[in-house]
Structure 1
């Protein structure tokens, strides 16, 4: 086939429609296991649980997505890594259940996370929280939406207390006086959902401990960005996805106006 005759790649909106339908199908399947009896085993030397619901949702996502886009790469928490993804221009980055511990415990705060990443950056994203009946979505050239309505980060007024989600052991390490000026939000078990909470204005920011993964972040990163926020490393630089190493260091996320102060207060967290 000649270069001029080569078909165009699917538009971001078409990819969004595809991943939205797949995420809803996978999430509804997982919901069928929720608060019922199901098998759970441990991986990563006993540090991370995986349930049969995770695996069932993963199978649905992989079948639907790669069935529709066989030329795309695949990166999922519940699939052995295939390094052929590194040579693909477009890659599905998937967490079938982000917040598996919450799912196993019968808590509502879990979601299906699906992103299309092109050349290291997310271009279409969906988070589906079935137990909460919430769908977040965005494309790189569109608005962030929650259940169809446009969402935006909260822009705090001066002297307003910021609501920041972070581990309790990090609060005392933040630079003063910032740590005295914030209200800590208790643990949100799904990292992707925590970032979505910034995107829809319920909280103002978060600090993410090291060793989060692409599949935890890629979809929520785009949704947050299109809602007026940003996710970055402590160096202030945006993240890149679909690299050989898919883990990340300590991260910060907030509305763009609130991010500089959060980054400055986070400097004591930098590894030495």
Structure 2
């Protein structure tokens, strides 16, 4: 970590993309090492999850304080003092998205680092450390072409497939793909492993800001269930619903959501 804060022009976000990717990747590497170390010591899942949340949060906060000392930060694991509401640039961070999967030794968990500028998710990086992969808003990911005639694939929770996703899948003649964290699900659409991610069961800004930035940069459709844009740095960070899907499926997905009575 640098001894003195970096100088940065707050009106230029070009190097913020690289910073977000570096921080998400670095936190992911820290988490992999920590999990391996604690597992070797015989720690239980709760200990591994709690240690991961804390260590990743502390590391990210220290790095942001050095690299962007003038910016505000909203982290799932930090105290929200509302100072951010007076800021244009706000970093929105989930130090460990998918603590259950992380504690179980699975790969479908993530680290989210995003920058909201005046409420818009302009910069983001989602690290998938178990896959040795970080997807960022720049350079933007290229979404693979969808095979002709393939069924629409919807990612859903491993343990609690929501009724909304089941209804949308039925409407589209699609199939459900169980997966872990919110970031892993959204990045499955970016990576072409899935076509649609719909969620209506409750999330917070840190759950979807970085995934939204990455997906938007890749040319995917990203919105609330009613089709309106996602807005960030609200006084209440509760942001319960979203749609991430291939652009060519957006109209059908939103129509299926409306038919399910969710909007």
Q: TM-score, normalised by structure 1?
A: 0.83
Distance 1:155 1:260, change over 3 A: farther
Distance 1:32 1:155, change over 3 A: same
Distance 1:8 1:171, change over 3 A: closer
More strand by share: 1
- Matched ranges for 1:159-170 at <5 A: 159-167=149-157, 168-170=161-163
2:96 is paired with a residue of what secondary structure? Answer: strand
Distance 1:96 1:245, change over 3 A: same
Higher deviation after alignment, 189-198 or 9-18: 9-18
CA distance in 1: counterparts of 2:59 and 2:74, whole angstroms: 14
2:35 is paired with a residue of what secondary structure? Answer: coil
- Which one of 135, 140, 143 corresponds to residue 144 of structure 1? 140
Native 8 Å contact 2:71 2:87 kept in 1: yes
Native 8 Å contact 1:212 1:249 kept in 2: yes
**Structure 2: tracts of 5 or more residues without a match:** 1-7
Does structure 1 residue 245 correspond to structure 2 residue 246?
no
Matched residue, 1:55: 54
Offset, 1:21? 2.2
1:15 is paired with a residue of what secondary structure? Answer: helix
Matched residue, 1:79: 78
1:247 is paired with a residue of what secondary structure? Answer: coil
More helix by share: 2
CA distance in 2: counterparts of 1:13 and 1:194, whole angstroms: 27
Q: RMSD between aligned alpha carbons?
A: 2.5
Q: TM-score, normalised by structure 2?
A: 0.85
2:248 is paired with a residue of what secondary structure? Answer: coil
- Count, aligned residues: 249
